[in-house]
Amino acid sequence: MPVPRNTKTLGTKQPRAGKVGTVTENGKSEKEESCQAKRSPSSPQGGPKKRSAFGDITNAHKSQTVMGKKETVKAGPRKVQKAPVVLGVVKNNEINLKKSMKKTPPTETPAEPKKVPVPEKPVPVQIPAVEDIDKEQLSDPYASAEYAKEIFDYMREREEKFVLPNYMEKQPDISGDMRAILVDWMVEVQENFELNHETLYLAVKLVDHYLVEVVSMRDKLQLIGSTAILIASKFEERCPPCVDDFLYICDDAYKREELIAMEMSILRTLKFDINIPIPYRFLRRFAKCAHANMETLTLARFLCEMTLQEYDYVRESPSKLAASCLLLALTMRNLGGWTPTLEYYSGYCSQDLHPLVKRLNFLLTYQPHDKLKAVRTKYSHRVFFEVAKATPMDMLKLEEILKS
């Protein structure tokens, strides 16, 4: 420390200048090095570099021996000379800061509107337009609402497996009119036995897929139809009719053994894969998306059931046929068009259905089979809201509504 050094020099004779300078300077430097080492042990340059912060006290400058009192006298004016320079620099810095503050605001303000607008949020806005139609039935374990979307997507995939070709070309003894008569009779059987509509649709599909693979004669056509209803009722009904009931409905035209043999033949030909997609299930699903009432749904079912007799509609996919029937029913009732929810769950946009909708309206206006009235008689009852008596739409008016 400086105080004990001065006392020692006053109490003794002053030694030679060279020796005093070196001893005192070495002692002082060792203490400062130890202090610097403790203050900054992590410094990569070491303690000696830090001495410049304490002034000119290195050994190189101390070769000219100068007493402590003279050093203090000389150090004073140096500090006084530096003061005005520092003040001038500070004032210049303040002026530069004020100038920079004036220039910076215009550069910062336009940067804010670039960060704020994020125009990529309109994409999720379309999601609320699609309604979750299965949300209300999640609490019902029998509705399988949690898996409804996946089930119908799976049925849409299976449609590609059951595409029907023009099989009438391979049938020498059966025509499209004979098929229409058979389907008309199957509709009466479904009414007499009070079977589900799914049973009727599946039975017609079984007949078509069987005739694709097997060439049949006309005298066996009714046997194929009755056996197809038996198989479909076993698949769809809780209490299916027995074999004797089908023998009776056929007026005992066939024996029991023939009916059982035909059942085995149909199942083996179709490789027991009889879970065929039908338009009736899709129609119920799509009507739920449109929040259609029972009368509108029944009108769409009437249109869909009329296509069962027509061979021209055999090659149409069940989901597309169901969507077209519903769109025509909604148009006839003035209940709006094809909503985003219907487009999402059906997989068809409105333009995809326009050609088939026009064909259905033409079928409703001009029924080719006037003698086959089982479907019209069925849907003329009060139970079905007498939808068969509804007047078809004008074709020009229908085109205007579909284009709008």
Asked if 144 and 151 count as a contact pair (C-beta separation under 8 A), the reply is yes
Alpha carbon of residue 256 to chain centroid:
53
Residue 140 pLDDT:
85
70 band by pLDDT with thresholds 50, 70 and 90 = very low
Tell me the one-letter amino acid at 337.
Answer: G
The closest alpha carbon to 287, from 211, 222, 345, belongs to 345
Banded model confidence at residue 94, pLDDT cuts 50, 70, 90: low
Q: Once rounded to an integer, what is the mean pLDDT over residues 245-264? A: 94
Fold of 279-403: Cyclin A; domain 1 (1.10.472)
What mean pLDDT is reported for the chain?
80
The tens digit of pLDDT for each residue in 140-162 reads 888 888 999 999 999 999 999 99
Min mean pLDDT across 50-59, 146-155, 191-200, 382-391 is at: 50-59
138 or 215, which is more confident: 215
Output the pLDDT for position 404.
Answer: 82
Give the pair of three-digit tokens for residue 271: 């490789």
- Predicted TM-score (pTM) of the model is 0.69
Tens digits of per-residue pLDDT, 266-308? 999 999 999 999 999 999 999 999 999 999 999 999 999 999 9
287 contacts 280 by C-beta, under 8 angstroms: no
Does 3 score more than 70 pLDDT?
A: no
The pLDDT tens digits for 162-216 are 999 999 999 999 999 999 999 999 999 999 999 999 999 999 999 999 999 999 9
d(CA 57, CA 29): 8
Q: Which residue has the higher pLDDT, 68 or 358?
A: 358
Could you tell me how many residues make up the chain? 404
Examine the pLDDT at 110 and tell me if it is beyond 80: no
Answer for the pair 360, 294: CB distance below 8 angstroms, yes or no. no
Average pLDDT over residues 82-105: 56
Q: Domain 159-269 has what CATH class?
A: mainly alpha
> What residue type is assigned to position 34 of the chain?
S
pLDDT of residue 101: 59
Where in the chain are the domains? 2-69, 159-269, 279-403
Report how far residue 55's alpha carbon sits from residue 53's, in angstroms, rounded to the nearest whole number.
6
